[in-house]
Amino acid sequence: MKSIISIIVMSFLISCSSDTKTAELKLDSMQCMMCSMSVEEAVAELEGVSKVEIDLKAKSGKVTYKASIIDMNAIENAIAAVGYNANDKKADPEAYDKLDLCCKVPEAQ
């Protein structure tokens, strides 16, 4: 009986670990450190996200998450909701308008 329980537990642990994914984020509208902190906080607070790394200089990031709990669309939506582009998802216009001037993309871009 103990061996059956052990097999069930091991199967569960293996299936859970294969559920973890890491994805790249293109964050082309980030302009300053405040932007990167806002994006990082928005993603980090999502259920299912275990790690967020933002690279302001490269205007990119990496997110590690549990695919059974959250998907990339939800992550991109959370970033767009705070006013920034995420991959091909455009920032929410109302959220973007509320950003500080230093966080807005210069008109020439």
Place 18 in a pLDDT band, splitting at 50, 70 and 90: confident
Helix (H) or strand (E) holding 47: none
CA 22 – CA 52 distance, rounded (Å): 9
Check residue 49 and give its pLDDT: 97
Question: Residue 78 pLDDT more than 70?
Answer: yes
Cut 0.85: pTM above it = no
Check residue 10 and give its pLDDT: 53
In whole numbers, what is the pLDDT of the chain averaged over residues? 88
Residue 81 in contact with residue 69, Cβ under 8 Å? no
Sheet holding 60-66, edge to edge: 20-26, 60-66, 49-55
Tell me the per-residue pLDDT of 27-41, one tens digit each, with 9 for 90 and over: 999 999 999 999 999
Check residue 108 and give its pLDDT: 46
State the chain's maximal CA–CA distance in angstroms. 69
